[in-house]
Amino acid sequence: MSKPLVKKSGDTALFYNDFAEDFDRKMNQYDLRRRLDIVFNELLPGDIRGKRLLDAGCGTGHFSRSAAERGAKVTSMDIGERLLEKVAEKCETERIVGSVLQMPFEDNSFDLIISTEVIEHTPTPYAAVSELYRVLRPSGILALTVPNRFWKWSCILANALKVRPYEGMENWVGYGRLRKELEEAGFSIITYKGFHALPFQAASLHPLLAFLDAKGNLFGRFYINIATACRK
């Protein structure tokens, strides 16, 4: 494993790394299951066996594990070394410390890239889009999910009320702006939609959310999260 880019505890970019031991316990399981379903059943090709796949901003490795179970040759990358230790507990992948803003890979390195709820935790999320394009091979596919800036007010309110103890970096992207940046980077959009029409923290809303996700391609700009599959 390469050396970490940053070691300073308390750095907002390393917020998740600082509580790696509790990360999985605090993660909303409905949201995780929904994103796994979207990435592997809607955004990526059905057969990824033998494909070189980058999990860019892998966290504790849920997407890396699912990709490895499907036969992909997985590289798990995150800026948090403790997070990568958690990946190692879930699956056998190549683990690399690195940032989506400056990845330690050559151009055209991967057939597939997953990056889910990652680029908004950087100072310049749209610069990350260009970097993801750089390391993807021609005709390769990026599966990306991010929060929609339309809902950023809800997190500001939750933080103010101290019901969401989050102190990390957040630069949410706009629904239309992200699509524009993807296309300007050179991507061709295959799928572009919203998911989570309402806050997913309330379990009573989950059946309704699943129903409303089917309308995410029509009304996605009003949904909490954005999902897209793009081809280089």
pLDDT tens digit string along 33-54?
999 999 999 999 999 999 999 9
Query: pLDDT (tens digit, 9 = 90+) per residue, 56-115?
Result: 999 999 999 999 999 999 999 999 899 999 999 999 999 999 999 999 999 999 999 999
Mean pLDDT of the chain: 88
Higher pLDDT, 76 or 166: 76
Task: Tell me the pTM.
Answer: 0.88
User: What is the average pLDDT across 182-203?
Assistant: 94
Query: pLDDT (tens digit, 9 = 90+) per residue, 120-139?
Result: 989 999 999 999 999 999 99
pLDDT of the residue at 2: 36
DSSP string for residues in the chain: -PPPS---TT-GGGHHHHTGGGHHHHS-HHHHHHHHHHIIIIIS-S--TT-EEEEET-TTSHHHHHHHHTT-EEEEEES-HHHHHHHHHH---EEEE-BTTB-SS-TT-EEEEEEES-GGGSS-HHHHHHHHHHHEEEEEEEEEEEEBGGGHHHHHHHHHTTSS---S---PBPHHHHHHHHHHHTPEEEEEEEE-SS-TT-GGGHHHHHHHHTTHHHHGGGSSEEEEEEE-
pLDDT of the residue at 11: 52
Q: Where are the domains of the chain?
A: 12-231
12-231 is a CATH 3.40.50.150 domain? yes
User: What is the average pLDDT across 142-151?
Assistant: 93
Statement: residue 227 has pLDDT above 70:
yes
